[in-house]
Structure 1
């Protein structure tokens, strides 16, 4: 018994698990697969788990029965969240800023698919009881990107796509040189225009984008260790924050805009304090 418990996750140790030997037709709250015969059940919150899943449990015991209804976290509008910044965004970013900001290629390197799926299932089963302290930071970065990809309306709304791209077109972009101003616009004017467009975003989109850009700025402050510059993060996040299918169905046009999308994200990261103000 002690040997088995030592392999459990910290979250699993908060539960009062008992072994169930009889026939069980319940879903494991970690992998979401059915437990057909045997398994573990918490006497306090009624969480069920496979024996093999106890080492990856991330849901803390809430001392009262868990709701049998899942909370939809992925694929719902930002406006459906009560918080100014969705809890999943704050939780993933916070954990990465504590344990993952020095990891080489953070956000560029994908997480392990099986672990990412388990984390996503756990978020829907017990969203406000999640403990990510033992989760791999690369898995958390993947969960965060999946959250933004699944939004029905992208965080940078499709109606503001053209204004953002028009600002980027006024700048020349070179992979071998830093951002340089063109004859059309100065950097100060560019920042002012971006700020004006950002202020036209819906309130929750603006606050979430602000939180994310300040977080990514923190990541770039440690680029000597993680090798993730604002440009590299722009390459990673541009396809996630700009949605191809949402702009007049013109996917090919947006493919040609990829460098401009990257430039916009790069500018938002580098000048987040001027554009958004202090972090929300």
Structure 2
């Protein structure tokens, strides 16, 4: 009896210890014999290989509560934190709607899927404890990151644009830290895009394979049917699909013949059916077409800005209305008579935006590609006099259209900088705006962010030493 009592006691202890794990205990009432009671005590001892299952509710409403797996209950999927730290953040667009720029210091956490924004470094830990708390975040899938100099007068600013139309600016004065952030975010975006595209291709392949299997199974089922009407229906569908494929092939062959016989762009231009456009055309061709070393559109914009824009705050830094700029571009490309004093071009920021767009869309920038490395090497010279002389010798070697256009543009920007007291545009500010637009490498390289600093410095130096650089021996 003592052994039986001790067996019952142990069984009850085991019952208590496994009760928290959700194991279901069964106990037989009114044991008829000691042997039955003894067997009952031994049956309650668990083996090492026993799998513990959650209690199954008999109520129909609660069935959905037990469909979760153990992984979903115990350890939810956690994302890998790649980088975190303090940066200046400004949200400038929400769903495509422009917002007022407001810089705030944020604790930013970069994971392999998204970018999260917190008020301080302690908030992520608090957020994990609060159920339902969702911080502001950016989905990296399909996002785009790029350096920008037009959205802010601050240095080291880059912009993140999401597929939903949200735009964020991130900034920090420390060069190597902000460069590291830019590279980490760019790599994360590329990685998540590759993973998403791979998953979609796998899903598409599975859908195709399943649909093919269903078609084969249906064909097999129909072939077994003995009814004549079903066999006729199957033959009709097969004939219809064959005729459909034949028709598609005929359309493809006709399109190929049409494309191969169409006249070339050059022949259409020679016949005068297609005219060269101003935006996106080579600088040399534009000058030859107009019989001048400087495109007339550049002269018109410079004249308009000097007439009514030298005292405007943030001239060339503030962006004009993009729709109006595109309208101005269309008018210029159609070779219509352009009058920038017209009321529709009243906003001077539209004129400056169109001028920047003209230089940005040149097939080869104002500083030709073959001169890029030479100018970057020249700006690194320690002695200022040698630096200016080297840059002057490079400018003198430029093609004539590039030299003349550059001389007029930089002379105009020098006048803008002379009115810094009114427009708050110093040579440094103009260098930030025009550096990446006028000077860039032919192919993107790893040190592109570092080169951006040199691009700005080159434009700034040429503005400060304009007289020395653009002076000729005849002068």
Is this a same-fold pair by TM over 0.5? yes
Counterpart residue number, 1:208: 405
> How far apart, CA to CA, are the structure 1 residues paired with 2:273 and 2:373?
43
Counterpart residue number, 1:230: 427
C-alpha RMSD of matched pairs (Å): 1.7
1:71, 1:125 within 8 Å by CA — same for their partners in 2? no
| Greater helix content | 2
Structure 1 residue 243: Cα displacement: 2.3
1:74, 1:147 within 8 Å by CA — same for their partners in 2? yes
> How far apart, CA to CA, are the structure 1 residues paired with 2:471 and 2:324?
36
> How far apart, CA to CA, are the structure 2 residues paired with 1:228 and 1:149?
20
Residues 1:68 and 1:124: Cα distance change in structure 2 (over 3 Å): farther
Counterpart residue number, 2:307: 98
Structure 1 residue 252: Cα displacement: 2.9
Residue 78 of structure 1 pairs with residue 283 of structure 2: yes
Residue 142 of structure 1 pairs with residue 347 of structure 2: no
Structure 1 residue 69: Cα displacement: 5.5
Task: Work out the number of aligned pairs and report it.
Answer: 194
**Could you tell me which of 414, 417, 426 is aligned with 1:220?**
417
1:111, 1:142 within 8 Å by CA — same for their partners in 2? yes
**Could you tell me which of 237, 246, 258 is aligned with 2:452?**
258
1:158, 1:243 within 8 Å by CA — same for their partners in 2? yes
Structure 1 residue 272: Cα displacement: 1.2
Residues 1:117 and 1:68: Cα distance change in structure 2 (over 3 Å): farther
Q: Which consecutive unaligned segments of at least 5 residues does structure 1 have? A: 1-66, 171-183
Whose relative contact order is higher, 1 or 2, with alpha carbons under 8 Å and at least 6 apart?
1
1:108 match: secondary structure? coil
**Could you tell me which of 288, 294, 317 is aligned with 1:108?**
317
2:372, 2:440 within 8 Å by CA — same for their partners in 1? no
Counterpart residue number, 2:296: 87
Residue 239 of structure 1 pairs with residue 436 of structure 2: yes
1:155 match: secondary structure? coil
1:153 match: secondary structure? coil
Structure 1 residue 254: Cα displacement: 2.3
Counterpart residue number, 1:270: 464
Counterpart residue number, 2:362: 151
> How far apart, CA to CA, are the structure 2 residues paired with 1:68 and 1:163?
41
**Could you tell me which of 387, 412, 415 is aligned with 1:190?**
387
> How far apart, CA to CA, are the structure 1 residues paired with 2:329 and 2:276?
11
1:192, 1:275 within 8 Å by CA — same for their partners in 2? yes
> How far apart, CA to CA, are the structure 1 residues paired with 2:370 and 2:400?
15
Residue range with higher mean Cα deviation, 158-167 or 250-259: 250-259
Structure 1 residue 277: Cα displacement: 2.4
> How far apart, CA to CA, are the structure 1 residues paired with 2:415 and 2:379?
23
Runs (4+) off by over 3 Å = 67-71
TM (norm. structure 1) is 0.66
Structure 1 residue 250: Cα displacement: 3.3
1:233, 1:266 within 8 Å by CA — same for their partners in 2? yes
1:220, 1:228 within 8 Å by CA — same for their partners in 2? yes
TM (norm. structure 2) is 0.39
Structure 1 residue 68: Cα displacement: 8.3
Structure 1 residue 70: Cα displacement: 5.0
Q: Which consecutive unaligned segments of at least 5 residues does structure 2 have? A: 1-271
> How far apart, CA to CA, are the structure 1 residues paired with 2:379 and 2:335?
41
1:106, 1:228 within 8 Å by CA — same for their partners in 2? yes
Counterpart residue number, 2:28: none
Structure label with greater radius of gyration: 2
